[in-house]
Amino acid sequence: MMKIGRSLIAVLILSALVTGLSGCKKKEGPMERTGKEIDKAAEKTGDKLEKAGENVKDAVKDLKK
């Protein structure tokens, strides 16, 4: 019976440690922030190119009429 109690305590302690450590998060460094900004800029550029393509497609349809 004592082994079960000790094992249970050990499991609870390890669970608490793992949970505590997973909550610790490093702050973003300058390279990560720069990467995120590049990703945002690329996404905005892609959206604008897609919109421009749709506008060209619509203009071509209007010319064919």
Domain boundaries, the chain: 31-65
In the predicted model, is pLDDT for residue 50 greater than 80? yes
Mean pLDDT of the chain: 84
Looking at per-residue confidence, does 61 or 20 come out higher? 61
H helix runs in the chain, sequence order: 2-23, 30-64
pLDDT band (50, 70, 90) for residue 47: very high
Q: Check residue 43 and give its pLDDT.
A: 94
* CA distance linking residue 24 with residue 17, whole number of Å: 11
Cα–Cα distance, 61 to 49 (Å, whole number): 18
- Look up the pTM and report it: 0.51
